[in-house]
Structure 1
Amino acid sequence: MKFKENNMLTDNQILDAANVFLATLEIKIGETLVLPQELMIKKNYGTYFIYHSKKYWETKDWEEKLLGNAPFLVEKKSGKIIEFGTSRSMDYYIQEYEAGRYS
């Protein structure tokens, strides 16, 4: 997604970008994925998303839980997707992004 420099994405545009990204992950993983709204973290610069397999989210059956489902950010200014790791807490990745260590 490309946007004019002075325009910020709306919440709906951010969610659209996240869903497009999620669709590419579904193809790679071979699972239907969901972005639970209650796990979204909105900041003034974008929204963080955590995804799960649809089967896991509906059943909470640990056998359906994904491994390696790294959280990601959709930047409000650019629509850029930034993927994070899985070895640290979400707070850690937020602090690292806010400190300018992800771009």
Structure 2
Amino acid sequence: MLTEQEVIQIAKIYVKERSEKSRLDLVILEDRCIKKSYGVIFRYNTKKYNDTRNYDDNTLMGNAPFIVQNSNGKIILLGTGREIEYYIQEYEAGRWPDMPRLSDFQ
């Protein structure tokens, strides 16, 4: 079982890698983290949006929330098409991330 600090460090590394890849200044939205018994759910966005919380600065796309599991440090990407509560419910019911995707039907 990982400590909360270890889970946070994994999340920071993940966001840093995404930041370097996209060449955007990305940060974890620390006030929007959700602590669960199985890990922590993180959201991230640009530093500018984090500082201003102005909708006009929320130009980042594809920044799906993610879980860092405290049992093994695995990162589970959630979706962006629905409210986060939906993805949490699906994950907790054991249906995420193993849900059939559109590509599975083609």
TM-score under structure 1 length normalisation: 0.86
Identity among equivalent positions (%) equals: 44
Map 1:18-29 to 2 at 5 A. 18-29=11-22
Map 1:81-100 to 2 at 5 A. 81-100=75-94
- Deviation >6 Å, runs of 4+: none
Aligned length: 96
TM-score under structure 2 length normalisation: 0.84
Aligned-pair CA distance for 1:52: 1.1
* Residue aligning to 2:67: 73
Q: Which structure would you say has the larger RCO, counting Cα contacts within 8 Å and 6 or more residues apart?
A: 1
Aligned-pair CA distance for 1:23: 1.0
Aligned-residue CA RMSD in angstroms? 1.2
Structure 1 Cα separation of the partners of residues 77 and 35 of structure 2: 16
Unaligned runs of 5+ in 1: 1-7
